Structure 1
């Protein structure tokens, strides 16, 4: 008998996170829907179940130690282990006109909030879930990043990289660097960790601006969450392949 695999997706009540949960559920995974808002979380679980997905809600604020610890305890009670962790929850921080975050006038508290969610939150959740992931025969961790976190692309004057986003973009560069450090630490184990850029997806996060659907944005994350044991680790991907750091 094949055991059902368990996946936790943070920020899974809507947008790309919900699409990742939908895609993994369609592949037979039991999906833990991590989200702060109880109403939105319950609604997402109901929708997933209506679509035939085995889903359950997990109260989860990635910026809170107690919330994350409680989430790990709930998953242990519900499933006993974790096979996939998708760190999807993230914020852009307040954006000015045309999505600009001017580094010369940037509110330092805004920077702290963005980093606390997009980087520290990922570390907090990942470390809390590691004991459960280590019980899996093929644990996978996927960090949802962005091409704006690519220092190589941002520094290339020949590449169109969009507006200056002095809080959000560096937070994704930081996340990418953290992903590499985890991969180094996991070398020689069965834990594979990678980052992915979903592209510009029309969701609430982007004000519903963007040419891509949530399902399109979720595709690479789903692929990385279901990698074979000889798959890559410590890399950064989008739909077209490897994204430069």
Structure 2
């Protein structure tokens, strides 16, 4: 039985990824900051709830101990993420971006992944087939953001694509440092979730496909790569 932990899993892509992996036979931990929402989601899916705030060292350390005591971990899906928006849902203009506003995004999207990897990789290394899936974004690709012919060119935010570019770099460097663990990044595509005020053009079922596929790659699968539903994305 494969045991999988998904961060930010009480809704959106995390919830759908959990649903599909439970259906595939995984024992899934729903990682969520809010105990009530997390437990409700876990009960709905037949999963296990674990209280987890990726921005808090003590919370992550407690989750490691609890999952270790339950038997260990095979797959970690670093899904928790935030995108900065104004109260009405619009993007924050560059003139209003501050170091603190960028730091808030990085605290979850980047430092949260580092915190999770630092804490859980020792446990994952005990698995016969350890896997990490880092949820990134197509907006992380500078070649698309600078290309006027690419839809991504018109994406105006500063903090979010910068954080996802950092996730890509984390993926490459950690994959080299931990060759026994399959560590990859994925782009779910422009999916309708609370993150983007449901502006996405595809469903969570479609967006979760690549996450679910990469969570099940096994010991012969790739590492240090970037993937979407259609296949490999060139760095």
TM range (shorter): over 0.9
Indicate the residue corresponding to 1:5 in structure 2. Answer: 2
CA distance in 1, matches of 2:174, 2:90: 31
TM-score (normalised: structure 2): 0.95
Spell out the pairing of 1:10-21 with structure 2 (5 A cutoff).
10-21=7-18
Matched, 1:152 2:143: yes
2:19 partner SS = helix
Deviates more, 1:139-148 or 1:157-166: 157-166
Match of 1:227 among 214, 217, 222: 217
1:162-181 paired onto structure 2 within 5 Å: 162-181=154-173
Tell me how far apart the structure 2 counterparts of residues 160 and 9 of structure 1 sit (CA, whole Å). Answer: 29
1:136 to 127, 138, 156: 127
Task: Tell me the alpha carbon deviations over residues 159-201 of structure 1, each in whole angstroms, 9 at most, x when there is no partner.
Answer: 12132110111000011111110111123x2x10111111111
Cα gap change, 1:34 to 1:83, in 2 (>3 Å): same
Displacement after TM superposition at 1:202 (Å) = 1.4
Q: Distance in 1 between matches of 2:35 and 2:91?
A: 32
- Of the three residues 27, 43, 56, the one matched with 2:48 is 56
**Cα-Cα RMSD:** 1.5
How far apart are the structure 2 equivalents of 1:168 and 1:96?
17
Mapped to 1, the partners of 2:66 and 2:82 lie a distance apart of 25
Aligned residue runs from structure 1 range 1-245, under 5 A? 4-49=1-46, 55-78=47-70, 80-95=71-86, 99-161=90-152, 162-187=154-179, 189=180, 191-245=181-235
Secondary structure of the structure 2 residue equivalent to 1:136: coil
Native 8 Å contact 1:60 1:68 kept in 2: yes
2 CA distance for matches of 1:101 and 1:199? 22
Query: How many residues in Structure 1 have an aligned counterpart in Structure 2?
Result: 234
SS of residue matched to 1:174: helix
Change (3 A) 1:39 1:102: same
